[in-house]
Structure 1
Amino acid sequence: MSLSAKRAVIVDDNESIRMVLRAIVRQAGLQVVGEARDGNSALEVIERCNPDLVCLDVLMPGRDGIEVLGELKRRRPHVRVLMITGKADRETVETMIREGASGIVVKPFNAARVIETIRRAFGLAN
């Protein structure tokens, strides 16, 4: 299976991080079809763009990423969600897993780690 037909949405309140993630996700072979800068607009963008993968920041204004994750997985259980976070304490990680995260990328991250996590989320070995 190739990732080239897969579509991604990036959600992060930091424009620089969105820009870096956009480049990394494209490098992994996915098509970036939408972006959002907060939890409130994230679900609208996801509904409109119908992605296979969402890169979702945890700490954002409005609704946080964990809230968005729970709602997203109820609406679209098949969508893979990579949580992007600087907050990797045990409780937060357990909550993300329980809510259905496909992978967790801890900031600061590098391209290789993000691509590896994307591939793992789709069941692809490196």
Structure 2
Amino acid sequence: MAKTVLVVDDAAFMRMMIKDILTKNGYAVVGEAENGLVALEKYKELNPDLVTMDITMPEMDGITAVREIRKIDPGAKIIMCSAMGQQAMVIDAIQAGARDFVVKPFQPERVVEAVSKAIG
């Protein structure tokens, strides 16, 4: 069975791009969310194998969402995807429990590598 992924980004175009990369590589995108609050609800509902999470979003940012998801499921596998490759953000994301960090604009190979490394 294909590994399931929840794609979280406030930009519909980015969600579409990530979804496209993942489905072409055999992953099943089971849900999408446009902010951290929606991501939290979808995570509880769908229990995906992996989450790709943007950092800067309205309502609830990605780092807060990672912390909240990890409270529900300490074993959650989350990869941060963000245009901001600032050191502090990367460190915050990893400390919050993210497994990896992919910088936009994406290299499809890098996205696939991060995902397969996180879910094995």
TM-score, with length taken from structure 2: 0.94
Provide Cα deviations, 1:19-58, integer angstroms capped at 9, x if missing partner. 0111111123211111111112110011111101001100
2:64 to 61, 64, 67: 67
Provide Cα deviations, 1:67-97, integer angstroms capped at 9, x if missing partner. 0001111111222101011112111111111
RMSD after superposition: 1.1
CA distance in 1 between counterparts of 2:98 and 2:25 reads: 19
Question: 1:108 aligned to 2:68?
Answer: no
CA distance in 2 between counterparts of 1:59 and 1:109 reads: 16
Which segments of structure 1 move beyond 4 Å, counting only runs of 4 or more? none
Provide Cα deviations, 1:90-126, integer angstroms capped at 9, x if missing partner. 1111111111111110011121110011111124xxx
Q: Which moved more, 1:25-34 or 1:100-109?
A: 25-34
- Secondary structure, aligned partner of 2:74: coil
Structure 1 unmatched ranges of 5 or more:
none
What is the one-letter code of the residue matched to 1:36?
A: A
- Secondary structure, aligned partner of 2:85: coil
State the partner residue of 2:74. 77
Contact 2:49 2:119 (8 Å CA) reproduced: no
State the partner residue of 2:84. 87
Question: 1:32 aligned to 2:64?
Answer: no
CA distance in 1 between counterparts of 2:51 and 2:25 reads: 14
- Secondary structure, aligned partner of 2:19: helix
- Secondary structure, aligned partner of 2:115: helix
CA distance in 2 between counterparts of 1:100 and 1:39 reads: 15
Aligned length, in residue pairs: 120
- Secondary structure, aligned partner of 2:71: helix
- Secondary structure, aligned partner of 1:20: helix
TM-score, with length taken from structure 1: 0.90
- Secondary structure, aligned partner of 2:89: helix
